[in-house]
Structure 1
Amino acid sequence: MSVRHLTPRDQHLFHQYGYGPAVPVPDPLIHRAVERQATARPHAVAAEHLGARITYGELDRYADAVAARLLHEGVGPGDHVGLFVRRSVPMLIGLLGILKAGAAYVPQDIGLAPAAQLAHVVRTARTRIVLTVAEHAARVPSGPHVLTLDEPLSYALPTAPTPPTAPARRVGPDDGCYVLFTSGTTGCPNGVKVTHRNVANILLTPPGDLGIRPGDRVAQLLNIAFDMAAWEILGCLAHGGTLVIRGQDIAAAARTADVVIATPTVLSGIDPATCPRVRTVAVAGEPCPRPLADRWARQASFYNCCGPTETTIVNTMRRHDPTSGSLTIGRPTPNNTVYVLDAGLRPLPIGEVGEMWAGGACVSAGYLDNDRLNAERYAPDPFLGGEHRMFRTRDLGRWTPDGELEHLGRTDDQVKVRGFRVELDSVSSVLESVAGCRRAVTLKQDARTLVSFVTPADVDPDTARRAVADALPYYCVPESVMPLTHLPETDRGKIDKAALLRLAEERTVVAR
Structure 2
Amino acid sequence: MHQEPSERAAAPAWSAHPLHELSEDDRHLFQRFGRGPVAAVPHACVHHAFERHAATDPFALAAEHLGATITYGELDRQANRLAAHLAGLGVRPGDHVALCVRRSIPMLVGLLAVLKAGAAYVPQDAGLTPRPQLDHVIRTSRARVILTTSGFAERIPVPEGHVLVAIDTVMAEPLDRARDTVAFRPARPPRGDDGCYVLFTSGTTGRPNGVTVTHRNVCNILLTAPGDLGMRPGTRVGQILNVAFDMAAWEILGCLSHGATLVIRGKDIAETVRRVDVVIATPTVLSRLDPDQCRQVRVAAVAGEPCPRRLADRWARFCTFYNACGPTETTIVNTMQRHDPAALRLTIGRPTPNNTVYVLGPDRRPCAIGETGEMWAGGDGVSAGYLRNPELNAERYVPDPFLGGGRMMFRTRDLGRWTPDGELEHLGRTDDQVKVRGFRVELDSVSAVLESLPGCARAVTLKPDDTGLVSFVSPAHLDPEAARRAVATALPYYCVPRAVHPMAALPLTSRGKVDKVALLRLAAERRTSGEVAS
TM-score (norm 1): 0.98
Give the alignment partner of residue 342 of structure 1, picking from 357, 361, 365: 361
**How far is 1:164 from its partner?**
5.3
Q: CA deviation at 1:236?
A: 0.3
In the alignment, is the contact (CA less than 8 A) between 1:220 and 1:244 conserved in 2? Answer: yes
Partners in 2 of 1:222 and 1:186 — Cα distance?
A: 25
Asked if the contact 2:238/2:272 (under 8 Å) is kept, the reply is yes
State the identity as a percent.
67
Normalising by structure 2, what TM-score? 0.94
Q: Residue type of the partner of 2:271?
A: A
Partner residue, 2:351:
332
The answer to whether the 8 A contact 2:450-2:486 is kept is yes
Query: Residue 504 of structure 1 corresponds to which residue in structure 2?
Result: 523
DSSP-derived class of the 1:206 partner: coil
Q: Which residue of 2 aligns with 1:148?
A: 166
Q: Partner of 2:391 in structure 1?
A: 372
Report what 2:80 is aligned to: 64
Among candidates 207, 229, 244, match of residue 225 of structure 1 = 244
* 1:93 and 2:104 aligned: no
| Residue type of the alignment partner of 1:10 | D
Task: Out of 12-21 and 136-145, give the one that drifted further.
Answer: 136-145
| Cα displacement string for residues 68-87 of structure 1 (whole angstroms, at most 9, x for unaligned residues) | 01111121211000100000
Deviation at 1:153, TM superposition (A): 3.8
- Aligned 8 A contact 2:43 2:219 in 1: yes
1:475 aligned partner: 494
1:203 counterpart residue number: 222
Q: Does 1:73 find its partner at 2:92?
A: no
Secondary structure of the residue aligned to 1:150 is helix
CA contact (8 A) 2:116 2:184 kept: no
Aligned equivalents of 2:127, 2:276: Cα separation in 1: 25
Structure 2 vs 1, CA of residues 155 and 196 (structure 1 numbering), >3 Å: closer, same or farther?
A: farther
| Contact 1:208–1:333 (CA under 8 A) maintained in structure 2 | yes
Work out whether residues 65 and 155 of structure 1, in 8 Å CA contact, stay in contact via their aligned partners in 2.
Answer: no
Aligned positions, number: 512
Q: What is the CA distance between 1:172 and its match in structure 2?
A: 0.5
**Distance in structure 2 (CA, Å) of the matches to 1:46 and 1:246:** 14
Q: Tell me the secondary structure at the aligned position of residue 412 of structure 2.
A: strand
- Whether the 8 Å contact between 2:199 and 2:211 is mirrored in structure 1 is yes
Mapped to 2, the partners of 1:158 and 1:184 lie a distance apart of: 47
8 Å contact from structure 1 (residues 67, 164) kept in 2: no
Q: How far apart are 1:13 and its partner, in Å?
A: 0.3
In the alignment, the residues of structure 1 paired with residue 93 and residue 426 of structure 2 have an alpha-carbon distance, to the nearest angstrom, of 37
SS in 2 for 1:511: coil
After superposition, give the CA deviation of every residue in 1:115-164 in whole Å (9 maximum; x if it has no partner): 11001001110010001111111122122200111131415457863435
Tell me the equivalent position of 1:181: 200
Q: SS of the residue aligned with 1:84?
A: strand
Structure 2 residue aligned with 1:409: 428
Q: Does 1:167 align with 2:186?
A: yes
Kept after mapping to 2: 8 A contact 1:174/1:196: yes
Q: Which of 274, 280, 289 is the matching residue for 2:293?
A: 274
Map 1:419-438; keep pairs closer than 5 Å: 419-438=438-457
Corresponding residue for residue 271 of structure 2: 252
Query: What are the Cα deviations for residues 308-340 of structure 1, in whole angstroms up to 9, with x where unaligned?
Result: 000000000000001111110000000000000
Q: Where does the alignment leave 5 or more consecutive residues of structure 2 unmatched?
A: 1-16
SS of alignment partner, residue 168 of structure 2:
coil
The verdict on how the C-alpha distance between 1:158 and 1:258 changes in structure 2, with shifts beyond 3 A counting, is farther
List runs of 5+ in structure 1 lacking aligned partners.
Answer: none
SS at match of 1:2: helix
The amino acid that maps onto 1:149 is: I
Q: Secondary structure at the match of 1:207?
A: coil
Once residues 263 and 185 of structure 1 are traced to their aligned partners in structure 2, the CA distance between those partners, rounded to angstroms, is 22
Aligned counterparts of 2:356 and 2:271: Cα–Cα separation in 1: 37
Q: Secondary structure, in 3 states, of the residue corresponding to 1:14?
A: helix
Kindly indicate whether the alpha-carbon contact (under 8 Å) linking 1:427 and 1:476 is maintained by their aligned counterparts in 2.
Answer: yes
Cα RMSD over matched residues?
A: 1.2
